[in-house]
Amino acid sequence: MSQNRRFGIIKKYYSHRALPLHPATREKRAKKQNVTKETQAAVNRRLRAEKLSRLIIDNFETGDLYITLTCREFMDAEMITKAFNDGFKRRIRDIYKKAGVPAKYISVLENLNGGGRPHAHILLPAVPMKWIEKIKAAWPHGNVEIKLFGGHLRDAEKMADYFTKEKIADQSGRIQPSRNLVRREPKKERVTRADAYNPELVAPKGYRIIKDLSYRTYTAEGYPISIAYIERIEQKTPYGNRREGKG
């Protein structure tokens, strides 16, 4: 579950330490997959995206700032890295300190090794409107585009998927999360009540499945894995307002 318990990701799978014991169940698996270098890279990228998505949804809310910084004149990788890390981020910390808002962020520099002009993305908490112009002034090297983060798990997934795409990863710097972000490991439960789990995706009470994000597939060993993305249900009160269902 996310820190605010609004969203969650549920994964059902067999690990190499807990495979079905009954021969008939073992035979239900799909044909063992041929694990190539490309296949493993795709799996690793998906795991990085999922981890980054959890980090985003645990630390950022609807209305937070997704900022893109571009350069008026060409800057190579060394120049933009220095301008972004030593210049913009230092000024941002000062601005947020004066605004009384924690300067937590997730950032990435893109196109450092080709693919287009280098530019930067950074996700920051929302601040009162009077500080927005100061944020723009903190980057004197070009345009500052500010969009509002949607705050939904879909928005976090879309952003995480973009940041971890192979093309971006090959041509960009490392994703840089600030040290003051909330970091939580997912809870794991080993199910021993049955030889095989039910692969159907069922949301806990008070939640619903986000169908366009949820899916079922197979591990490299050929065993099924079910991944359900869930969100808390909002309910109408007697006065017509909405309240979120208890998780």
Predicted pLDDT of residue 246: 40
Average pLDDT over residues 104-133: 91
Contacts 24+ apart (CB under 8 A), 93-99: 95/127, 95/131, 95/134, 95/135, 95/138, 96/124, 96/125, 96/127, 98/131, 99/127, 99/128, 99/131
Q: Contact 74/117 with Cβ under 8 angstroms?
A: yes
* pLDDT one-digit tens code per residue, 4-56: 778 888 887 766 555 555 555 555 555 555 666 666 677 677 778 888 999 99
Least Cα distance to 71 among 141, 139, 138 occurs for 141
* pLDDT one-digit tens code per residue, 85-112: 999 999 999 999 999 999 999 999 988 8
Predicted pLDDT of residue 195: 45
Contacts 24+ apart (CB under 8 A), 143-147: 143/69, 143/70, 143/72, 144/67, 144/68, 144/69, 145/67, 145/68, 145/69, 145/70, 146/65, 146/66, 146/67, 147/65, 147/66, 147/67, 147/68
Whole-angstrom Cα distance, residue 197 to residue 23?
Answer: 15
| Paired strand residues for 108 | 121
- Name every residue whose Cβ is closer than 8 Å to that of residue 77 and which is 6 or more positions away in sequence: 109, 112, 113, 118, 173
CB neighbours of residue 42 within 10 Å: 12
Collapsed DSSP state (helix, strand, coil) of residue 83? helix
Phi, psi of 171 (to 5 degrees): -105, 0
How big is the chain, counted in residues? 247
* pLDDT one-digit tens code per residue, 185-241: 777 666 655 545 566 777 888 999 988 888 777 766 666 778 888 899 976 655 555
**Angle of the 153-163 helix axis to the 37-59 helix axis, nearest 10:** 140
pLDDT grade for 184, boundaries at 50, 70 and 90:
confident
CA distances from 28 to 22, 23, 78 (A): 10, 9, 54
What amino acid occupies position 20? P
Average pLDDT over residues 127-147: 97
Per-residue pLDDT at 150 exceeds 60: yes
If one compares 114 and 72, the residue with the highest pLDDT of the two is 72
CA 173 to chain centre: 17
